[in-house]
Amino acid sequence: MDRRYPSTVAVTLTYALLTLAALQCLQANDASDLHLSEDLLPLTLTDAWRFRSGDRPEWALPQVDDQNWLQGSSYLDPQSALRRQWSGRGWFRRWLAVDSTMAREGFALRISHLGASEIYLNGVLLQRNGRIMEDADDAHRSHWALLPAPLSFRKGPNLIAVRYSMPDDVQLGAINSQGVGFELVLSSIEQAEAELAIEYEFGSLLLFVFGITFVMALLHFMIFLFNRQQHATLLFACAASGLSLATLANYQFKFAAPHEGWWFTVSAGNVCFAVFLLAFLYAIFYKRIPRVALLFWLLAPMSVAASWWDYRAALLFITLASVEALRIIGLAVARRREGAWLFGGGVITLVMWFFLFDFDLLGFKDAVSPMTATLVDYCARLTIPLLSAVFLARNYAQQNQQLQVNIEEVRVLSEQTIAQEREKQRLIESQKQHLEEEVAERTAEIRQQHDALQVANLQLEATLGNLKRTQAQLVQSEKLASLGELTAGVAHEMQNPLNFVNNFAELSQELVEEAQEDLEALRTNINEEQIARLNETLADLLTNSRKIGSNGARAANIVKGMLMHAAHGSGKRQEVHLNVLSEEAVKTALRNFRTRYDDCNIEVQQHLDAAPDLIELVPQDINRVLISIVDNACYAVRERWLAAPEGFTAMVTIETRRHEQHFEITIHDNGLGIPAEQRDKIFQPFYTTKPTDAGTGLGLSLAFDIVSKGHGGELLLESEPERGTAFIIVLPPA
């Protein structure tokens, strides 16, 4: 038999079903001029409605004349005259003749629509669904499954009026072909409640199907994540996701929010299910994807986009996909591919039900109850996913069985290999043990050598540090010694001339004073003009002599400072108490200052550390630094005392403090402070802020060299104008 025969039969059968669907016609009931009786219930009221566009509350009353209103279907069909008059809001009226058997309670009206409505019976409001607004676009639309409105007829004519609102621009083509209208069903209360229960059972069924498909999709996504080689598993997960999405959107549309977007999502989900199902079948039964698959991948997004305007675009794509699925299954059966009959039965069942249910061939919908039809519909929809899952599970089982066989073969080979390796392992183990012993012995020797090297390295680093510090101190001592020798020589050479200058200046002053006394005695013998000239000459001589004495004294001070600079100590470090050294230096500095200036009473405060450790330094050098800084501080507070108003207290504070890594001495005064532009020059040699006859500019320069270079410390300056100055001496412990 020709291998193409099964596929040809499948294609022929499919086109026959399409032909039957095209020939199927819809039945419609005309309920105009209807006299009610219980035999007619339930009764669908869709025709013979009188319609008027607009919104006036009195149109609900029976006495309103509606003879001139338009007449037609409540569906508002796209080609009808009612639809052309529709503006988003209007009134529908329908008269019913009721005899005495129907003039009682126990009846209900149930409306289905996508907009908002109000139902009136003989001018009395029965039910409000959603909320009608002034602008139809702002109407709050109600969901599909509405509760029935109970009513009681009176004998004679009864008026049913429906106030209805629905935006005219809603893309209802994506939902149905009935237009923007509504459907009203009259039944007994028992029938209405039974119908409502069926719809809610239908909702539960939708959620059940959604749960099954969602779990299947999630499960196969997880399987693909752990085995990326199984691409068919991923395609099946995508197909199940599409069916799950369509089922959830259908539930949302019918029972939550009747928005056209949800129905569009239903179409998109069904298209997604169809195209990924085809891709799944291609992956199973084809080694290479055929070119026709590209056509379906192109048509899928186009049909989804077109279904926004007309849902039948998605229906057409699903039909073509069904035909292609039948063709694939037919070829697979003809080629005796594994699993072909399994998929063939599922696909044929789904396609047959698709034509029977969606196209309503042979009046199937009328032959069974809606609940039964819906149940069978979703069972048919689940056929392909369930059979696909069975096929994948069967493949996994076969793979596992083959894997078990391979594992058994590997186990036998492993036992043989292990037996061979054990002998090798025994030899290797003995050699390994011998090598480990040798390595352990060698490692112990290396460790001992390493530890010894580390100790020696630490000792060398400590020795190197001491040598560097000693070298720096020796270099500084040599510099100071050389500078001291130079300074001593210069001072010695300058001392004798300065002594002569000072001596002759004093003699000149004495001679001038004696001459002035003699002139007074000779005043009677010399005229006044000569005396005046002689006095003027003697006055100039006296002034010059005084200037000689002043400059000689300044030169003597410079020599004295240079001698102090040269008279450094032995340079040997000693351990001393910092507090004792500070107290002696402060006393010496105050005694020297008060011999020069006894007009200012300076208050000295000392805040010494309670128990400082011994510090190793050159006592003579640090003593000289402290005396110089304290002397400058006393001079600064005296200058401010002279310029300050009464009540100012001249104060100098000395503080010692022991830190974890260094010692600190702070000398603070409340003098005038040092301007910012002078702070960078304050430690330069021969630079001074004092008058020329009060300072030489060598004290702070010498102090900076002694602290930083001689002791490896820091001399810091902090000053604020009109607030005072602080010098901070930072010394290392050794």
DSSP output for 83-147: HHH--SEEEEEEEEEE-TTTSSS-EEEEEE-SSEEEEEETTEEEEEESB--SSGGG-B---SSPP
pLDDT for the residue numbered 221 = 84
Cα–Cα–Cα angle for 267, 354, 319, rounded to 5 degrees = 60
Strand 574-577, strand 614-617: pairing: antiparallel
Across the chain, how many H-helices and E-strands are there?
Answer: 15, 18
Least confident of 83-97, 258-272, 289-303: 258-272
pLDDT at 532 over 90: no
Is the pLDDT assigned to residue 523 strictly greater than 70?
no
pLDDT for res 76 = 81
Type of residue numbered 153: F
Model confidence at 93, pLDDT cuts 50, 70, 90, reads very high
Percent of the chain scoring above 90 in pLDDT: 4
3-state helix, strand, coil in the chain (%, to 5): 60, 15, 25
Stretch 536-565: mean pLDDT, rounded? 68
Q: Per-residue pLDDT tens for 226-261?
A: 878 778 778 878 888 888 888 888 777 777 766 667
Name the residue with higher pLDDT: 677 or 33. 677
Taking residues 332-361, report their average pLDDT.
Answer: 64
pLDDT in tens, 491-507: 665 666 677 677 777 77
Structure-model confidence comparison of residues 155 and 1, the more confident one? 155
Nearest residue to 170 (alpha-carbon basis) of 221, 116, 130, 134:
116
pLDDT band of residue 6 (cuts 50, 70, 90) is very low
pLDDT range class, residue 695, cuts 50, 70, 90: low
Alpha-carbon distance of 383 to 394, in angstroms, equals 16
pLDDT tens for each residue of 105-152: 788 888 877 778 899 999 899 888 877 776 655 555 555 556 788 888
Instruction: Tell me which of 230 and 34 has the higher pLDDT.
Output: 230
- Of 32-46, 410-424, 713-727, the range with the lowest mean pLDDT is 32-46
Contacts of 305 (CB under 8 A, 6+ apart): none
Contact criterion met (CB below 8 Å) for 260 and 270: no
Give residue 202's Cα distance to chain centre.
45
Token pair 């500078």 in the structure block, residue: 483
Predicted local confidence at residue 18, as pLDDT: 41
Q: Residue 103 in contact with residue 155, Cβ under 8 Å?
A: yes
Tokens of residue 6, six digits:
């099964």
In this predicted structure, the answer to whether residue 209 has a pLDDT above a threshold of 90 is no
User: What pLDDT was estimated at residue 426?
Assistant: 82
The secondary structure of 237-294, three-state, reads: HHHHHHHHHHHHHHHHHHHCCCCHHHHHHHHHHHHHHHHHHHHHHHHHHCCCCCCHHH
DSSP code at position 148: P
Both tokens of 94, joined, read 């329908």
- Of residues 254 and 560, more confidently modeled: 254
Q: What is the pLDDT of residue 58?
A: 92
Q: What is the token pair recorded at 43? A: 């009764």
Of 530 and 272, which is predicted with more confidence? 272
**Least confident stretch, 373-382, 413-422, 449-458, 619-628:** 373-382
Would you state the pLDDT for residue 91?
Answer: 93
Centre a 10 Å sphere on the Cβ of residue 197 and count the other Cβ atoms it contains: 11
Q: Which of 67-81, 327-341, 709-723 shows the lowest per-residue confidence on average (mean pLDDT)?
A: 327-341
For the segment 373-394, the average pLDDT, to the nearest whole number, is 65
Largest pairwise CA distance in the chain: 176
Can you give the pLDDT at residue 141? 55
pLDDT of amino acid 75: 82
> In this model, does residue 177 exceed pLDDT 70?
no
pLDDT for the residue 162: 93
User: What tokens appear for 710 in the block?
Assistant: 């001689």
Residue 525 CA to residue 509 CA, distance in Å, equals 25
pLDDT digits (tens, 9 = 90+) for 38-62: 777 888 888 889 999 888 889 999 9
Whole-number pLDDT of residue 94 = 92
Strands 43-45 and 183-188: antiparallel
Q: The tokens 């005084």 sit on which residue?
A: 546
Q: Is the pLDDT of residue 626 over 70?
A: yes
- Tokens representing 53 are 């566009």
pLDDT at position 377, please? 63
Question: Residue 4 above 60 pLDDT?
Answer: no
What's the mean per-residue pLDDT of the chain?
75
- CA 59/CA 550 separation, integer angstroms: 127
Residue 574's contacts (CB-CB under 8 Å, 6 or more residues apart) are 616, 617, 618, 619
What pLDDT was estimated at residue 5?
38
